[in-house]
Chain A
């Protein structure tokens, strides 16, 4: 695989990690979307990812407000076009980890709500980097009957560093749904998991909900400035 590590320039290992995260900053606008969810219900996971991420990317390219991090617009785009293909509950559950089991139904709803905002806020600032990026699928291996799939893509501008963007999907009754996104090899769920677990250990489930809500408020304030 040769698309890796354009971002990595020199000796520093810090540079390496941060380069990886530069990938985060650079994209992620690209999760998925779809105009009519129903029409994509029967799609294979790779076809679904390709069609949805291409469409979202086109929307972002066409709308300067989105690239400038207009949170309400992005929220709308996600709700309308991405959300039908994402299992936010599973994404939240996996990220929260063991703490989920002890959470009450109300706490779980609060976690899902705050986590979803957190994810959208996190990446809304990164969309300004989108120029003429295109989505390409990397080789996809699947057996018929698989209920879990990893669809690997590369999102590249015509002139610049390509970004590896991979999606983990599960098969549900309503078609394939994304439950994790991996950027340059760094999984969102895995990366959040440890810090969420330690927050729950120290301050309980309510502590984590509060930490996410606080962070969302800070991000909201920061984006406006």
Chain B
């Protein structure tokens, strides 16, 4: 989230401050075993931030996203969604270069060129139909490619699940977004706002699922995030996690509840 990175009027700053004041009263229930998971030593803090984010989401982002979904026809939403994905190709290609993945650079720049022209400014994803499938790269994955570990899991205010490595990666990714260079600033502001609402709207079903299903949404989100990022790091083919137990689980010393961590990978099979 990027609101107000250029002085876009004290109006917004004041509104944000007021909202933050309200939201900070959010208070999470922290289970007694918080912080025992070695990947989440800051669980107590993370749960508070997560509760704050949930309130922000419930009172602002989700209603906006629902309204957007109700008002804007599907075809138009797809167009907007594709448009932002198209802008993301710049980030993808930049990180492909940094990761020394020439195939990725070719695919992503090709997609950008095709969809920006034939796809009418990214509105239609014709490149996929031509066989150039959409990829995802970001600076967190670039750091991973050169051996950086994730560091502890962290929940960032407004932005949500992350880890230390991916959080650092957000900064260069932010500057590789073409939206940040749009002039005038007010146009940029509306573009970024639309992008966020669009993203949130795409995720309405997913968040509903988590709310309905997860015994503990915080844990569910964390564990899914960490696995998802590992999968992205290995371009869909991460090393197999060792699911322990086996035989009938009748004997032997019990595995610690908090492990079940995949073995640390050597080098992604970059393609």
Which residues of A come within 8 Å of B, CB atoms? 1-22, 24-26, 93-94, 97-98, 100-101, 118, 122, 125-126, 129, 138, 150, 152, 159, 161-162, 164, 168, 179-180, 184-187, 189-191, 193-202, 211-212, 215, 218-219, 222
The interface bits of chain B over 229-259 (1 if a CB of A lies within 8 angstroms of the residue's CB, else 0) are 1111011111011010100011000111110
A186 touches B228 (CB 8 A): yes
How many Å lie between the Cα of A212 and that of B173 in the bound state?
40
A1 touches B224 (CB 8 A): no
CB contacts (< 8 Å) of B238 on chain A: these are 185
How many Å lie between the Cα of A2 and that of B271 in the bound state?
9
Please judge, given known A-B contacts A5-B135, A12-B199, whether A17 and B224 are in contact too, CB under 8 Å: yes
A219 touches B31 (CB 8 A): no
CB contacts (< 8 Å) of B142 on chain A: these are none
B228 touches A98 (CB 8 A): no
B225 touches A94 (CB 8 A): no
How many Å lie between the Cα of A3 and that of B206 in the bound state?
19
Extra contacts besides A17-B221, A152-B236 (16): CB < 8 Å: A2-B107, A5-B232, A9-B202, A13-B161, A17-B160, A18-B206, A19-B203, A21-B206, A21-B209, A22-B206, A25-B205, A98-B254, A161-B134, A180-B243, A193-B223, A195-B219
Please judge, given known A-B contacts A9-B198, A122-B209, whether A195 and B216 are in contact too, CB under 8 Å: yes
CB contacts (< 8 Å) of B260 on chain A: these are 97, 190, 193-194
Q: B53 near A: Cβ within 8 Å?
A: yes
The interface bits of chain B over 196-224 (1 if a CB of A lies within 8 angstroms of the residue's CB, else 0) are 10111011011111101111100111011
Please judge, given known A-B contacts A1-B236, A4-B236, A164-B236, whether A98 and B257 are in contact too, CB under 8 Å: yes
How many Å lie between the Cα of A43 and that of B239 in the bound state?
25
Cβ distance B62 to chain A, nearest Cβ, rounded Å: 12
CB contacts (< 8 Å) of A8 on chain B: these are 136
A17 touches B228 (CB 8 A): yes
21 contacts between A and B (CB under 8 A): A1-B236, A9-B199, A11-B159, A12-B1, A12-B199, A13-B162, A16-B161, A16-B228, A17-B224, A20-B227, A20-B228, A24-B206, A26-B205, A164-B231, A185-B236, A186-B224, A187-B243, A191-B220, A191-B223, A194-B223, A215-B215
Closest B residue to A26 by CB, please name it: B205
How many Å lie between the Cα of A138 and that of B271 in the bound state?
15
Closest B residue to A200 by CB, please name it: B257
B220 touches A195 (CB 8 A): yes
A190 touches B241 (CB 8 A): yes
Contact of A97 among B133, B162, B198, B257 (CB under 8 A): B257
Q: B85 near A: Cβ within 8 Å?
A: yes
CB contacts (< 8 Å) of B258 on chain A: these are 194, 197
B209 touches A25 (CB 8 A): yes
How many Å lie between the Cα of A162 and that of B131 in the bound state?
13
How many Å lie between the Cα of A4 and that of B2 in the bound state?
26
CB contacts (< 8 Å) of A5 on chain B: these are 134-136, 232
Closest A residue to B254 by CB, please name it: A98
Closest B residue to A215 by CB, please name it: B215
Cβ distance A8 to chain B, nearest Cβ, rounded Å: 5
CB contacts (< 8 Å) of A18 on chain B: these are 160, 203, 206-207, 210, 221
A14 touches B159 (CB 8 A): yes
Please judge, given known A-B contacts A21-B210, A93-B245, A195-B216, whether A150 and B240 are in contact too, CB under 8 Å: yes
Closest A residue to B129 by CB, please name it: A159
A13 touches B166 (CB 8 A): yes
How many Å lie between the Cα of A20 and that of B225 in the bound state?
8
How many Å lie between the Cα of A186 and that of B156 in the bound state?
21
CB contacts (< 8 Å) of B156 on chain A: these are 13
How many Å lie between the Cα of A22 and that of B53 in the bound state?
19
How many Å lie between the Cα of A21 and that of B209 in the bound state?
8
